[in-house]
Structure 1
Amino acid sequence: MSLSRRKFLAFGAGAAAASTGLSGCGSRSSLGGSDELSMWTWVGSVNDDLIGQAEKAIPGHDGLRLSMTRIGSNYKTKVLTSLAGKSLVPDIVAINDDVATYFPNADQFHDLFELGAKERESEFLPWKWKLGVTPDNKMMAYPMDTGPTALFYRTDVFSKAGIDIDPAAVAQLAPDWDTYIALGKKVKQAVPGSSITDNINSIFSYRMAQQPKRYMTVDGQYIGDQDHVREAFDLAIRVVKEGLSANAQDGSTDADAVVTNGKLVAFNAAVWWAQLGPKNAAPKTKGLWRVTAAPGGAGNRGGSFLGITKYCKNPEAAFAFISWLESAKNQAQAFLDPVLFPSTPASYTDSRLAAPDPFFGGQKIVEVFAESATKYPGAYFSPYDSIIGAPISAELVNVEVAGKSPDQAWNDAQHQVERELTRAGAI
């Protein structure tokens, strides 16, 4: 299956508009007064202290201030609807890790290269920088945080299994997924009920997060039926078949429970899981967790961006603001609250990040995630990744929960992907 440049542009102008209610009507105007830059984002995406400074005055532009709105639900739909009407559009918008799904609407955003972004490129992780650049080499989105991956594990449980709990030793014991499975089996034998993943989709997602390619090529060729995806699919099923999954599906009440009750004793996850997982769901395990290099290599899952819309009142001031907000110094501050891992390598040696983490036994966990972030090979995310990934994810759940045949699940997923891509005009 392939997506031509003509179809890609047609999708941006037509199909994407239809799917989000884009009408192309309305006056062209930005949101907010003439003395302010408006910004939309979601809860937990920026550091409040930094935003507070900009709300008094945009750095370098004393006559302007920031007016920020946090949108609690249906964020993406509201952004696209605003762009559709071309009226009361925010000057600046935050964009999640599905940035490529905005590419068909790239004409609604300023090309940041034209505002001076090239001069900042060397400050950022190369793979992160590329994710905000369209196939037509327009920089639509400026890097914010990242989601490097690593292996979290419980030292008390590993000790019971006779495993050296030193992070370097664990990394040597499980450098790849085969050895990770063997390690998980050893732990489960010593401590019955132990799991090394919350559910089947986590294994698939985090294995895909390590791959140098995903579901489509830059020129629109579908590759989601190739060996690298099937390998991740089969790996996830193998972990389940070995009895090493907690079968706590995403969105269920079990998701936190398996951390709270100690069933999930090791987990290959992104940096943000430290807060959402053990610190939130199992605070009494403080000091018992460690982090080391993930089996299978460096990966990334998550991370966001900032875009400046075409309706921005002062694009130069807006770019000055976002480049200030996402400087290495300020990204280091955003890691402290709300725990956003920087896309600027210079942040990794900042004393605020390099400090030992008491929850992880005094380990300097940032060092592990920094290595993952810098070693991650990067991969192309297409505008269609979400509609490709959904059927695969659903069929994996069918294998774990309903016992569906893996081959049948794979074939059914591929048929559904073909239907969805056809419906979207991609093939």
Structure 2
Amino acid sequence: MSVSRRRFLALGAGSAAAAGLAGCGSRSSLGGSNELSMWCWTGSVNDGLIAEAQKAIPGATSKRLAMTRIGTNYKTKLLTALAGKSLVPDIVALNDDVATYFPNADQFYDLHELGADKLAGDFLPWKWKLGITPENRMMAYPMDTGPMALFYRSDIFERAGVSVDPAEVAAAAPDWDGFIQLGKKVRQAVPGSAITDNIAAVFDYALAQQRQRYMTVEGQYIGAGDHIKQVWDLSVRIAKEGLSANAQNGSTDADAVVTNGRLVAYNAAVWWAQLGPKNAAPATKGKWRVTASPGGAGNRGGSFLAITKYCKDPEAAMALITWLESSKNQAEAFLDPVLFPSTPASYTDPRLAAPDPFFGGQRIVDVFAESAKKYPGTYLSPYDTIIGTPIKAELVNVEVGSKSSDQAWKDAQHQVERELTRVGAI
């Protein structure tokens, strides 16, 4: 299944909004003439830095920042504002689905033209590229990343007679097969132990290590290829081995398996440290460790900043986002709200490099920094969410026993084809 490059960029996940952008409506930005308006979601920026910019934007002291945090339906509200061409914020945060906005790239400034390139060397190369469209328009400026590592319970590993030294754990599980064998050894000694909450999560994280995902830059669908089927089969294998807790996303069980100690190891992104054990199992402080992910470096998550074409002062907006995402300030944002930097210079900042008591005094930043630097990057298409949703839904059907793996794979591919046809991608 393929689509022409030109049509690929003109259609996509944002096609409905793009249609609205062609309609009537006055072009106007949100906020007063002496301020720059910015939209983000809760937990996407550091409050202290925002407070400083609200007094006066560094590098553009005649302007102040007017911040709006949107708690729910952020993407829908942003696309609606763009479609209406009225009261559009000057600056917007974009999540890791940044490519879904590529069909609307003409509604944003090309940051190449605002001098972004002189700062490219400050960032992880793969992260920098993710904000650039296939037509070389830099639509989005890097914020945080989501490098992966293997989290594990040192106390339960000890009970199972398994080494808890991070280097030795990494050596025992250099790939997913080794991780499965390690999980089976722990489960034999500690019955009920699991190495994932559910197999859809295995799919997400194994996919996050791949050099290819669902589509090529030219718009060809490759999500039925061997590289995706192998990730699917790995996920199903972990269920068959009895190493999944079968705690589906959004259920109370998802936190419970962390709280009750059933989830003894988990290959996940850096942000899971906060959302997982620190939130769901604070009493396990000191018992967790991290090491390199089985299967190699990967990334899941991370956000961006973009300047809309409605911006009252794009130069001042550029001054703000480059200041906000400097290595010094990205280090500050790691402390709160725990955003892992896309600027390698941040990794040696004492605020990041300090031992973490929750992880037994381990310098966990070293593990995640290594993953971030080794990750080769991949192409994220505007259709990734549309494609991934039915695939993971069918994996749930496999895990709960309502479908065979073969039937679920066929049904997933059929649904993907239908959805891509619906949005005009094929």
TM-score range, shorter chain: over 0.9
Q: Residues 398 and 14 from structure 1, CA distance in 2 versus in 1: closer, same or farther, beyond 3 angstroms?
A: closer
Q: Residues 377 and 388 from structure 1, CA distance in 2 versus in 1: closer, same or farther, beyond 3 angstroms?
A: same
> Per-residue CA shift, 1:260-311, capped at 9, x if unaligned?
0000000000000000000000000000000000000000000000000000
Report % sequence identity: 77
Q: CA deviation at 1:31?
A: 0.3
Which residue of 1 is the match for residue 170 of structure 2? 171
Checking the alignment, whether the CA contact within 8 Å between 1:12 and 1:105 is kept in structure 2 is no
Checking the alignment, whether the CA contact within 8 Å between 1:195 and 1:265 is kept in structure 2 is yes
Checking the alignment, whether the CA contact within 8 Å between 1:387 and 1:420 is kept in structure 2 is yes
Which residue of 1 is the match for residue 2 of structure 2? 2
Q: CA deviation at 1:62?
A: 1.5
Q: How does 1:29-40 map to 2 (within 5 A)?
A: 29-40=28-39
Checking the alignment, whether the CA contact within 8 Å between 2:355 and 2:363 is kept in structure 1 is yes
In the aligned structure 1, how far is the partner of 2:24 from the partner of 2:329?
39
Query: After the TM superposition, which segments of 4 or more aligned residues of structure 1 sit over 3 Å from their partners?
Result: 12-16
| SS class of match (2:38) | strand
> Per-residue CA shift, 1:219-245, capped at 9, x if unaligned?
001110001100000000000000000
Q: Give 2:3's aligned amino acid.
A: L
In the aligned structure 1, how far is the partner of 2:61 from the partner of 2:193?
57
Q: Give 1:82's aligned amino acid.
A: A
Q: Give 1:93's aligned amino acid.
A: V
Q: Residues 13 and 378 from structure 1, CA distance in 2 versus in 1: closer, same or farther, beyond 3 angstroms?
A: closer
Q: Give 1:11's aligned amino acid.
A: L
Checking the alignment, whether the CA contact within 8 Å between 2:14 and 2:100 is kept in structure 1 is no
In the aligned structure 2, how far is the partner of 1:330 from the partner of 1:253?
35
Q: How does 1:120-159 map to 2 (within 5 A)?
A: 120-159=119-158
> Per-residue CA shift, 1:186-231, capped at 9, x if unaligned?
0000000100000011111100000011000000011100011000
| SS class of match (1:198) | coil
Which residue of 2 is the match for residue 208 of structure 1? 207
Which residue of 2 is the match for residue 294 of structure 1? 293
In the aligned structure 1, how far is the partner of 2:18 from the partner of 2:344?
40
Which residue of 1 is the match for residue 278 of structure 2? 279
Which residue of 2 is the match for residue 221 of structure 1? 220
Q: Is 1:402 matched up with 2:417?
A: no
| SS class of match (1:152) | strand
Query: What is the count of residue pairs matched by the alignment?
Result: 426
Q: Give 2:215's aligned amino acid.
A: M
Q: How does 1:60-99 map to 2 (within 5 A)?
A: 60-99=59-98
> Per-residue CA shift, 1:5-63, capped at 9, x if unaligned?
232243169933378x5562210010000000000001000000000000000102121
In the aligned structure 2, how far is the partner of 1:417 from the partner of 1:10?
19
Checking the alignment, whether the CA contact within 8 Å between 1:16 and 1:104 is kept in structure 2 is no
| SS class of match (2:400) | helix
Q: CA deviation at 1:108?
A: 0.3
| SS class of match (2:204) | helix
Checking the alignment, whether the CA contact within 8 Å between 1:22 and 1:81 is kept in structure 2 is no
In the aligned structure 2, how far is the partner of 1:403 from the partner of 1:245?
16
Output the TM-score relative to the length of structure 1.
Answer: 0.98
Checking the alignment, whether the CA contact within 8 Å between 2:17 and 2:80 is kept in structure 1 is no
Checking the alignment, whether the CA contact within 8 Å between 1:210 and 1:298 is kept in structure 2 is yes
> Per-residue CA shift, 1:119-146, capped at 9, x if unaligned?
0100000000000000100000000000
Which residue of 1 is the match for residue 344 of structure 2? 345
In the aligned structure 1, how far is the partner of 2:413 from the partner of 2:67?
42
Checking the alignment, whether the CA contact within 8 Å between 2:13 and 2:383 is kept in structure 1 is no
Q: CA deviation at 1:377?
A: 1.0
Checking the alignment, whether the CA contact within 8 Å between 1:332 and 1:342 is kept in structure 2 is yes
| SS class of match (1:386) | helix
Output the TM-score relative to the length of structure 2.
Answer: 0.98
In the aligned structure 2, how far is the partner of 1:414 from the partner of 1:234?
14
Which residue of 1 is the match for residue 112 of structure 2? 113
> Per-residue CA shift, 1:344-402, capped at 9, x if unaligned?
00000001000000000000000000000000110100000001001100110000013
In the aligned structure 2, how far is the partner of 1:117 from the partner of 1:135?
17
Q: Residues 150 and 321 from structure 1, CA distance in 2 versus in 1: closer, same or farther, beyond 3 angstroms?
A: same
Which residue of 2 is the match for residue 305 of structure 1? 304
Cα root mean square deviation, aligned: 1.2
Q: Which runs of 5+ in 1 are unaligned?
A: none
In the aligned structure 2, how far is the partner of 1:119 from the partner of 1:24?
36
Q: Residues 14 and 48 from structure 1, CA distance in 2 versus in 1: closer, same or farther, beyond 3 angstroms?
A: closer
| SS class of match (2:11) | helix
Q: Which runs of 5+ in 2 are unaligned?
A: none
Q: Is 1:262 matched up with 2:269?
A: no
Q: Give 2:357's aligned amino acid.
A: P
In the aligned structure 2, how far is the partner of 1:395 from the partner of 1:60?
50
Q: How does 1:320-399 map to 2 (within 5 A)?
A: 320-399=319-398
In the aligned structure 1, how far is the partner of 2:10 from the partner of 2:144?
31
> Per-residue CA shift, 1:302-358, capped at 9, x if unaligned?
000000000000000000100000000000000000000000000000010000000
Q: Give 2:8's aligned amino acid.
A: F
In the aligned structure 2, how far is the partner of 1:329 from the partner of 1:29?
33
In the aligned structure 2, how far is the partner of 1:17 from the partner of 1:258?
40
